[in-house]
Amino acid sequence: MSSSKEIKEATDFIQSKVDFAPEVGIILGTGLGALVDDIKIIYSFSYKDIPHFPVSTVETHSGKLILGELNGKNVIAMQGRFHYYEGYSMQQVVMPVRIMYLLGIKYLFISNAAGGLNKNLTLSDIMIIKDHINLFPENPLRGENLNEFGGRFPDMYDAYEPKLIQLAKEIAKEEDIDVKEGVYAGVQGPNLETPAEYRYLDKIGADAVGMSTIPENIAARHIQIPVFAVSVITDLCYPEKLKPASIPEIIGAAINAEPKMTKIFKKLLERI
């Protein structure tokens, strides 16, 4: 559990160390941490040094909170995120989003690596998330409502900001980047799905599946922060292409897509 007191103490610790007001929060997914290389870093914190902050246990997640400048905007970036399957409560998973809000962000950008369910998706595709299906067994808003972050029943009609989606599509066209658009299903993990589960996810309307993003999105929408999110398609999960998963191949597909995703994020920052 992550209480209001713990969130405030973590925020106060960061504010005591920095003279910086971030405008945009960025959460970087598996194999997608290199965007940090383009940030003019002003402050950097290891997660383990921030009071009450969870620590990444996934090998491909660095575990650093970066504050700096990127394409003319002050940003705060998570190089490595937290997953429910790591054993954290949902409140811990979304704690960084709430801290980012208290530090001043007005937008949240999220990236993830995901399995492609739609036959129109290919490896290393960028899929802009237009909606999601929440299949997690827990919700970050369950329990006593934290009134300072929003009302009891947040609306999820525009869970992913339409204006940012449209802007990203225009940028992709200008930069000659092929992007897809689709629905992301979030599952607990950490195991990948069975062939029958992939068929089920396809039937209920999901285009891609992963183990993150939705909790952070719910927390951001609770606070009414607009969210832009992309999935990088790192494995193909429809019957014709399905095969046993290779984690090195998944990481490789993410790395191949990263320059395209980075370009979209950076150009989007310029225009908001």
Burial of 26 (0-12, 13-18, 19+ CB in 10 A): buried
DSSP annotation of 194 reads P
Q: What does pTM read for this prediction?
A: 0.94
| Residue 268 and residue 109 in contact, taking contact as beta carbons nearer than 8 Å | yes
Overall number of domains in the chain: 1
The tokens for 168 are 């990203």
| Residue 260 and residue 126 in contact, taking contact as beta carbons nearer than 8 Å | yes
pLDDT at 247: 84
| Residue 25 and residue 107 in contact, taking contact as beta carbons nearer than 8 Å | yes
pLDDT at 66: 94
Q: Give the CATH number, domain containing residue 189.
A: 3.40.50.1580
Q: What is the pLDDT of residues 226-236, one digit of tens each?
A: 999 999 999 99
Q: What is the pLDDT of residues 13-35, one digit of tens each?
A: 999 999 999 999 999 887 777 78
pLDDT less than 70: residues of the chain: 1-2, 56-62
Give the DSSP letter string of 76-145: EEEES---GGGT--HHHHHHHHHHHHHHT-SEEEEEEEEEE-STT--TT-EEEEEEEEE--S--TT-SS-
| Residue 256 and residue 124 in contact, taking contact as beta carbons nearer than 8 Å | yes
Q: What is the pLDDT of residues 76-96, one digit of tens each?
A: 999 888 999 999 999 999 999
Question: CA 103 → CA 13, 118, 123, 228, 251, distances in Å?
Answer: 11, 38, 36, 19, 32
- What range does the domain containing 197 cover? 4-271
